């Protein structure tokens, strides 16, 4: 017995599975991009906090523990 061709609007089961698989991959791709954006934002926030704390430390200390080169650059 031969299998009838699908009429317009009908699809084979394999096409439906393929569409579901492609949709799942698209969701994974969007999730991966969002994860990278969140991770990059977190790194930028931590870098900003570190930079601000470094500025505060170098401006308020003249002790050897400070960074005198950066302090003199900021003073000029």
Q: Please say whether the beta carbons of 34 and 42 come within 8 A.
A: no
Q: Give residue-wise pLDDT tens across range 26-36.
A: 888 888 999 99
Q: Please give the Cα distance from 62 to 68 (Å, whole number).
A: 7
pLDDT, one tens digit per residue, over 30-75 is: 889 999 999 999 999 999 998 888 777 766 555 555 566 666 666 6
3-state SS record for 32-66: HHHHHHHHHHHHHHHHHHHHHHHHHHHHHCCCCCC
Instruction: Give SS3 for 1.
Output: coil
> pTM of the predicted model, to two decimals?
0.47
């Amino acid at each position: 017995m031969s299998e009838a061709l699908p009429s317009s609007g009908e699809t084979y089961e394999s096409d439906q599975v393929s569409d579901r698989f492609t949709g799942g991959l698209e969701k994974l791709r969007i999730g991966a991009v969002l994860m990278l954006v969140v991770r990059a934002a977190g790194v930028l926030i931590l870098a900003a906090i570190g930079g601000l704390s470094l500025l505060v430390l170098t401006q308020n200390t003249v002790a050897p523990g400070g960074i005198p080169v950066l302090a003199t650059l900021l003073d000029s």
